[in-house]
């Protein structure tokens, strides 16, 4: 098997929201229901049930030239086009980590709340022994939490999170949430030093920003 970057040839059109399932019917595309299940549509595009935000979501994967038509038809049918920045806010509100930002090759899936993406019945895979050991012993050193900031604009991602002057983790994602009226973020924090309801500080260029640790997902519309 050989892995390669095919992003110049393939892309993704995401349908997210309470009407996403209906939009697939309008586009005459299959709608797999189980998370991460997928079906091939006419023309070769693959429809995947995905977790993209708090609302239901599906992704249409295919070559770039095959995605122009479903995009145009969805817009004509009433879908509202949004970009990556809007999706980024929605997924932070839902507590969904992005690879390369909240997770990397040095992150365990369980640390970023992706336990439901791990199969416990399949055969051997890279890292299986470590994952099984964590599942059986229930021990993690750090985990992804939400941060509700006492600010409207977020500090830079990658900023250090501290408590009483000691570093306890890193701010991995941050954005202004219109629904909460303030900045929110995701942070990988040491479990021995962090807990929901705790006040922490984010080290930022303009000065420390106070924040409250919360479980994920956020409750949009709440100032908690």
Q: Which phi and psi angles does 200 have, rounded to 5°?
A: -130, 175
What is d(CA 197, CA 213) in angstroms, rounded to the nearest whole number?
5
Q: Which domains does the chain have, with CATH numbers?
A: 10-81 (3.30.70), 109-214 (2.40.30.110)
The full 3-state SS of 15-31, as one line of letters, equals EECCCHHHHHHHCCCCC
Q: What are the pLDDT tens digits along the chain (224 aa)?
A: 788 899 999 999 999 999 999 999 999 999 999 998 999 988 788 999 999 999 999 999 999 998 999 999 999 999 999 989 999 999 999 999 999 999 998 898 889 998 877 777 777 777 777 777 777 776 789 999 999 999 999 999 999 999 999 999 999 999 999 999 999 999 999 999 999 999 999 999 989 999 999 999 997 654 33
DSSP for 23-87? HHHHTT-----STT-EEEPTTS-EEEEE--SSS-EEEEEEEHHHHHHHHHHHHHTTPPP--HHHH
**Rounded distance, CA 169 to CA 50, Å?**
28
Structure tokens at 183: 């900045």
**What is each CA distance from 147 to 39, 54, 103, 170, 196, in whole angstroms?**
37, 17, 17, 11, 9
The strand pair at 182-190 and 142-149 is best described as: antiparallel
| Greatest Cα-to-Cα distance within the chain, rounded to the nearest angstrom | 58
């Amino acid at each position: 098997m050989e892995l390669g970057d095919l992003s110049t040839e393939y892309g993704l059109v995401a349908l997210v929201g309470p009407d996403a399932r209906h939009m697939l019917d309008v586009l005459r595309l299959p709608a797999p229901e189980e998370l991460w299940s997928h079906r091939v549509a006419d023309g070769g595009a693959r429809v995947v049930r995905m977790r993209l935000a708090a609302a239901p979501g599906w992704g249409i994967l295919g070559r770039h030239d095959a995605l122009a038509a479903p995009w145009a038809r969805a817009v004509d049918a009433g879908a509202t086009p949004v970009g990556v920045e809007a999706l980024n806010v929605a997924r932070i509100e839902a507590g969904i980590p992005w690879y390369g930002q909240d997770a990397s090759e040095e992150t365990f899936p369980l640390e970023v709340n992706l336990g439901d993406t791990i199969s416990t019945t399949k055969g051997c895979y890279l890292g299986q022994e470590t994952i099984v050991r964590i599942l059986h012993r229930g021990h993690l050193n750090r985990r992804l939490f939400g941060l509700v900031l006492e600010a409207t604009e977020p500090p830079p991602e990658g900023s250090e999170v501290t408590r009483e002057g000691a570093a306890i983790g890193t701010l991995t994602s941050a954005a202004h949430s219109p629904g909460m009226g303030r900045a929110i973020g995701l942070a990988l924090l040491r479990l021995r030093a962090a807990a929901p309801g705790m006040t922490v500080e984010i080290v930022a260029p303009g000065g420390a920003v106070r924040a409250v640790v919360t479980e994920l997902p956020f409750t949009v519309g709440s100032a908690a």
